[in-house]
Chain A
């Protein structure tokens, strides 16, 4: 498949969304709300549950199922309070030493006047900052769109996995083509140049595993195995490993 087709496919309506992943992987899921500062952002769903016998915190960026649902979830574009809710629950997970699983599917953090004025930049920065030091395992899975900073804010993790039909990019191929060649027609070229597919990113060593789509049972088993491995490490080992993981990127 062409790179750009993967991008278009990742945006399709009939895909599995974060709710599907959470409901088939995390048992006894209880959703929690609010960031305790401003409000509750429905673009981010978060709560606790268990995988096998292990209690976990699950966080997902949800796009919604039908038009009404999508509007409620703001098409999966989070406001600052969404990222702050995610961080609040990660801090809670740290307290009880619960592993955190993030399901990432967003075209990007929401851009609007109120999002800016409530500190979109600061919210994302704070997530990266605090997650780098979170004393509990974090596992992130990009299940659809990995849109720039808005997706990265849930990916400062010990392991980053991707579905084979997902993408993760610094910029959307359309805006990249628009900036470089003043035309969105060349988005396919841009997609290729950006190296945004799971395959390319795996070869670049930026992600750890690529998954065949639809195989949720296999994914669940692997998540369980992986968090057991991560839980067996001391928090110093975890944090050192996480630091080194990002430290080596690009140099």
Chain B
């Protein structure tokens, strides 16, 4: 088991849900073309052929957005426990840990971006679809409290299926907990920037993902409260093609700016500069 773990195939962001790793090439889900991994890597994990956005895991995301070697992680060791003794949750947790190689679905810490000191958190879709349980809520709350005490901005990269049902009401109430911490951070005059990535839904959309002073989104990202299949089923009609897509959400008035991946660091730097 341990040996197997050591030789675990590069469990990289390209593998998650979207594409199969075929040696050094991957198949893009959208254009179905085989593309060498290095080319995708070099292109910020955007398909060079068709512009499809591959999912990016949290640690990579932070690397892409922050200055080299500036990131210091907080609360890395916090791990979830099965408070409600929910069936199969323990197995799911250990599987998620193996798959994501993280202890929980969010990574928090301090870094500099374009030289400006800031707190940052990034959620990880490889960990139970970025769902928010007690520890995800706790880590983000602690980050906001730290940022409040140090008068630092917070940058949040969201990707989540919503509250984690295996923790029942405890996970639902994380929405309240984090929102209250965001409010305190805001009351002290600090900046909070959200970067919405695909998908940001459910309880995360209905709390801290929608509470930024400035809300950025990645092109094509799904952003919404209820899942599209649920809506389709309950309405019995097909949904418009751009429904809950970042571009449409911007038209509806809930996003400030859509920023392509290769411009995100630049955009964050520009905003931080205007608030320094």
Contact = CB atoms under 8 A, between A and B. Distances in A.
A66 to B, nearest CB: 22
Residue among B141, B177, B205, B231 having the largest count of chain A Cβ atoms under 10 Å: B177
16 contacts: A116-B226, A121-B206, A125-B211, A128-B179, A128-B180, A129-B211, A149-B203, A170-B167, A194-B168, A206-B170, A206-B173, A242-B180, A246-B173, A249-B137, A250-B83, A250-B167
A21 interface: no
Contacts of B133: 250
* Majority DSSP secondary structure for residues of A touching B: helix
Interface in A122-173: 122, 124-126, 128-130, 132-133, 148-149, 152-153, 155-156, 168-171
Given A149-B172, A247-B180, A176 B253 contact: no
B101 interface: no
Contacts of B50: none
A195 B84 contact: yes
B183 A129 contact: yes
A122 B239 CA distance: 21
A206 B203 CA distance: 18
Given A249-B176, A250-B133, 14 more contacts: A109-B226, A116-B226, A119-B254, A122-B210, A128-B175, A148-B163, A170-B167, A170-B169, A175-B230, A193-B84, A249-B177, A250-B83, A250-B171, A251-B135
Contact of A206 (B169, B182, B231): B169
A149 B175 contact: yes
Contacts of B240: 113
A74 B259 CA distance: 38
Nearest to A109: B225
Nearest to A176: B165
Contacts of B179: 125, 128-129, 132, 156
Nearest to B215: A122
A174 to B, nearest CB: 12
B6 interface: no
Interface size class of A (residues with CB under 8 A): 35 or more
Interface in A90-133: 109, 111-113, 115-122, 124-126, 128-130, 132-133
8 closest residue pairs by CB, A with B: A250-B134, A111-B226, A132-B180, A121-B205, A128-B179, A121-B225, A124-B206, A125-B210
Interface of B: 83-84, 86-88, 133-135, 137-138, 141, 163-165, 167-177, 179-184, 187, 202-203, 205-211, 223-226, 230-231, 234-235, 239-240, 243-244, 248, 252-254
